Amino acid sequence: MNRSPNFPQAGQFGAMRVGLVTETWPPEINGVAHTLHHMSEGLLGRGHSVHLVRPRQHRADRPNGEITGLSEQVLPGLPIPGYKGLHFGLPARGAIQKAWASTKPDVVYLATEGPLGHSALAAARSLGVPVVSGFHTNFHSYSRYYRLGFLEPAVAGLLRRFHNRTDCTLVPTENLRAELTGQGFRNCAVLARGVNTRLFDPARRDPDLRQSWGVEGDAPVVLYVGRLAAEKNLGLAVEAFRALQSKCPAARFVLVGDGPLAAELKRQHPDFVFCGMRTGEDLARHYASGDVFLFPSTSETFGNVVLEAMASGLAIVAYDYAAAREHLRDGRSAALAHLDDGHGFVARARALVEDPERIRVLGAAARERALSVDWDHIYDTLESLLQAHAAGGLSHGSVTANR
């Protein structure tokens, strides 16, 4: 890991009070909530305190007072249309500023760019608190999947102005940092993602679960894990599976997740296996019981599911970008197509079933790479970066935790 000369060692400045502002948090299931929960656990485990600001998820939602070092400020929010179970926060500068004036954070981390994030940014600036933001979601690119592509430049401009008002923007890959810098985002730094390789493990493969999916013997299970929504490019996943199935009729397609396209997919493809949302060891068992993992999305900032599939020993078919580009190599640890080359994606999926041994080899190599992506390493970098801003300065030359 390379650090600039002004980048401090982990723990150099002692315990911090960190303000964490997000519109999504467990038990909500998505990549942002997953990542932030890990970040919070890492900070708490190192003796820092976290003041979590988030929208209320349901009427009975109350702050969790049972986690040492974690205090929650739960504020009003509204449901996000089309995203069942998710909410966005309403403007709340006064409430946030009052809480932070009482117990001032050393540094604030803003994870989302909605009204709550804007309120928190204004409150932090008013109190003179350093602010670090995270670029977790390509909201501007989502517009093209909902026939609103004409809004993409405007949304991108709003995101750029928001992040440029913060002291630093954290992104998950070096490629995304270069892309955003080219678009006018300032002070971007890379903070990689990790994976729990003890939870996601090929040893969790379950023959009984495979049998419940209607799998015959060693027939390949093709797996998709994620939201069933337009921005995930699921049409390409279906096309790739059908091409693969034409070479191996016994193959099964298993989809783990839920979303607005679930009902239509079930109607159009009654032979697919739909497992709904899965978490924890149950999710890990589903991963390990698959063989080939399809990741057709082109709208991700990273793609945590790719790391989980790697750790589970699956042969991954994806585009050569985001998490796949950061951690995998075409022909050695995955089957990667050039970005937006749909024909190449489909061809790589089809080719895998023509050589079952290659599925095993790619999966083993992906697992080996996943073992090197350790959350403790990521925690150290996050801690050091936040402490540097709390102490009043950081050179952004080469802050990275990817290698």
Q: What is the pLDDT of residues 142-186, one digit of tens each?
A: 434 434 444 466 677 889 999 999 999 999 989 899 999 999 999
Nearest to 192 by CA among 369, 6, 14: 369
**282 and 154 fall within a common domain:** no
Strand partners, 254: 223, 273
Average pLDDT rounded to a whole number, residues 335-364:
96
382 pLDDT higher than 50: yes
Q: What is the pLDDT of residue 83?
A: 63
Weakest-pLDDT range from 126-140, 213-227, 263-277: 126-140
The strand order across the sheet containing 315-319 reads 273-276, 252-256, 221-225, 292-295, 315-319, 335-337
3 located within any domain: no
CB environment 148-168: b (16+ within 10 A), e (fewer): eeeebeebbeebbebbebbbb
Q: Are strands 87-89 and 77-79 parallel, antiparallel or unpaired?
A: antiparallel
| Tokens of residue 378, six digits | 């990521």
Nearest to 156 by CA among 146, 141, 171: 141
pLDDT band at 396 (very low <50, low <70, confident <90, very high): very low
**173 and 31 fall within a common domain:** yes
CATH number of the domain enclosing 182: 3.40.50.2000
**323 and 263 fall within a common domain:** yes
24 pLDDT higher than 60: yes
**379 and 365 fall within a common domain:** no
**172 and 215 fall within a common domain:** no
94 pLDDT higher than 70: yes
Average pLDDT rounded to a whole number, residues 193-218:
96
The mean of the pLDDT values for the chain is 88
**239 and 352 fall within a common domain:** yes
112 located within any domain: yes
**314 and 275 fall within a common domain:** yes
**190 and 210 fall within a common domain:** no
Q: What is the pLDDT of residue 9?
A: 45
**35 and 109 fall within a common domain:** yes
82 pLDDT higher than 70: no
Separation of alpha carbons 280 and 214, rounded Å:
23
**254 and 355 fall within a common domain:** yes
127 pLDDT higher than 60: yes
Domain with 279, as residue range(s), is 202-370
Q: What is the pLDDT of residue 154?
A: 65
Better-predicted residue by pLDDT, 54 or 151: 54
294 located within any domain: yes
**299 and 328 fall within a common domain:** yes
Number of structural domains the chain divides into: 2
Average pLDDT rounded to a whole number, residues 29-56:
93
Q: What is the pLDDT of residue 78?
A: 85
Better-predicted residue by pLDDT, 382 or 77: 382
Weakest-pLDDT range from 151-165, 247-261, 270-284: 151-165
Average pLDDT rounded to a whole number, residues 199-215:
98
11 pLDDT higher than 60: no
**169 and 220 fall within a common domain:** no
Q: What is the pLDDT of residue 65?
A: 77
86 pLDDT higher than 80: no
Q: What is the pLDDT of residue 403?
A: 38
Question: Residue 27: is the preceding peptide bond cis (ω within 30°)?
Answer: yes
190 located within any domain: yes
Q: Could you tell me what percent of the chain has a pLDDT over 70? A: 88
pTM of the model: 0.80
Average pLDDT rounded to a whole number, residues 22-38:
90
Contact (CB, 8 A) for 384 and 10: yes
Amino acid at 222: V
Quickly list DSSP for 69-100.
TEEEEEE-EEEPTTSTT-EEEPP-HHHHHHHH
